[in-house]
Amino acid sequence: MHKIAVLGGDGTGPEVVREGLKVLEAASHKLGFKYETVDYDWGGDRYLRTGEILPPTAIDEMKKFDAIYLGAIGHPDVKPGILEKGILLYLRFGLDQYINLRPVKLYPGVETPLKDKGPADIDYVVVRENTEGLYTGAGGVLKKGTADEVAVQESINTRKGVERCIRYAFAYAQKRNKDKKLTLCGKTNVLTYAFDLWERAFYEVAKDYPDITTDYAHVDATTMWMVKNPEWFDVIVTDNMFGDIITDLGAMTQGGMGIAAGGNINPEGVSMFEPIGGSAPKYTGMNVINPLAAIGAVQMMLETLGETKAAELIDKAIAYVTGSKLKSMSAGKMGFTTTEVGDMVAQFVADA
């Protein structure tokens, strides 16, 4: 029995999560695995109503589950940063989800802005470190609001944090068994402390994975190759900030935020799966947003829970719907409603 916490969150989060759960239900019927869900109302509305971002027991509560399924966090009436830091980053850090796994996969029939590139070219995975770097909040401000203001925001890189991320990425490249190639994305020519640590750890860990080809690219060059030669990549490992930036670029090359999913993974603990697009408040309640990213998050969640067959089936179902049904991946332009897209994926799973 898989115990899943459901955090629909803000904006269109609950709408897309509903479709993801529909597909989860269909897959459980089809393949016979069991699960139960518990809903949480954490998000902007609850914060505005109660003044509390999260209950103090949030982390302990989440530790009781096998996985967390998250819609989106971000509310137009709440100052940017409060919910993102107070909920999303708080859970990632508190549950030590040290990997942010972001596949960049172009499904059949999906339009990419990359000229002459197709699904065979755009199919790689970014392993983003998810608990350190510029995201820890280390640093400070002096003389705020004066002409002498000083703002320092430090990138924290620990040997342990960097090494466990790199190790995960090597093991992932091995298990993925595609090109068996791992690219370290860094900036060794300028960030000579942080990425020196990354580079040393990378080549030391590489010795334990002789079957994996190692590769290095500076982050600026990485964005260039992601556009020009995405087929060069198999698995990319990088720090938190670079990973944040390059995965938005990656998402655009795979058809946009409507289809990009990700997992915040603690390989020894509780992981959290989410569509990476955000809450898209202007579409709330309109039944026009693309649920495929949220359905992709369910697919990743099942993979992590060991339901490999279900994950494979949902992947096929997504490919069927993008390849033969949807006109576009964008909200309002799919040719179907949010609910209808969820129905089509669930139906494919049921009929398989």
Question: What is the smallest separation between the CB atom of 45 and Mn ion, expressed in angstroms?
Answer: 22
Q: Which is nearer to ligand IPM, 89 or 345 (CB)?
A: 89
Strand order in the sheet with 123-129: 35-40, 2-9, 67-72, 271-275, 261-265, 99-105, 123-129, 235-238, 181-186, 213-218
Q: Which is nearer to Mn ion, 186 or 250 (CB)?
A: 250
Q: What is the 3-state secondary structure (H, E, C) of the chain?
A: CEEEEEEEECCCHHHHHHHHHHHHHHHHHHHCCCEEEEEECCCHHHHHHHCCCCCCCHHHHHCCCCEEEEEECCCCCCCCCHHHHHHHHHHHHHCCCCEEEEEEECCCCCCCCCCCCCCCCCEEEEEEECCCEHHHCCEEEECCCCCCCEEEECCECCHHHHHHHHHHHHHHHHHHCCCCEEEEEECCCCCCCHHHHHHHHHHHHHCCCCCCEEEEEEHHHHHHHHHHCHHHCCEEEECHHHHHHHHHHHHHHCCCCCCCEEEEECCCCCEEEEECCCCCHHHCCCCCCCCHHHHHHHHHHHHHCCCHHHHHHHHHHHHHHHHHCCCCCCCCCCCCCHHHHHHHHHHHHHHC
Q: Which is nearer to ligand IPM, 74 or 346 (CB)?
A: 74
Instruction: Please report whether residue 302 would count as binding ligand IPM according to CB under 6 A.
Output: no
Which among Mn ion, ligand IPM, none contacts residue 88 (Cβ within 5 to 8 A by kind)?
ligand IPM
Q: Which is nearer to ligand IPM, 66 or 84 (CB)?
A: 84
Rule CB under 6 A: which of 199-258 touch ligand IPM? 244
Which among ligand IPM, Mn ion, none contacts residue 318 (Cβ within 5 to 8 A by kind)?
none
Q: Which position among 89, 101, 169, 246 is part of the footprint of ligand IPM (CB under 6 A)?
A: 89
Burial class (CB in 10 A: 0-12, 13-18, 19+), 281: middle
Which among Mn ion, ligand IPM, none contacts residue 89 (Cβ within 5 to 8 A by kind)?
ligand IPM
Q: Which is nearer to Mn ion, 83 or 341 (CB)?
A: 83
Q: Which is nearer to Mn ion, 19 or 244 (CB)?
A: 244
Which among ligand IPM, Mn ion, none contacts residue 163 (Cβ within 5 to 8 A by kind)?
none
Rule CB under 6 A: which of 260-289 touch ligand IPM? 276
Question: What is the smallest separation between the CB atom of 278 and Mn ion, expressed in angstroms?
Answer: 8
Which among ligand IPM, Mn ion, none contacts residue 16 (Cβ within 5 to 8 A by kind)?
none
Residues of this chain that interact with Mn ion (CB under 5 A) are 244
Instruction: Please report whether residue 95 would count as binding ligand IPM according to CB under 6 A.
Output: no
Question: What is the smallest separation between the CB atom of 187 and Mn ion, expressed in angstroms?
Answer: 18
Which among Mn ion, ligand IPM, none contacts residue 68 (Cβ within 5 to 8 A by kind)?
none
Rule CB under 6 A: which of 67-86 touch ligand IPM? 84
Question: What is the smallest separation between the CB atom of 25 and ligand IPM, expressed in angstroms?
Answer: 26
Which among Mn ion, ligand IPM, none contacts residue 84 (Cβ within 5 to 8 A by kind)?
ligand IPM
Question: Would you tell me which residues interact with ligand IPM (CB under 6 A)?
Answer: 84, 88-89, 244, 276
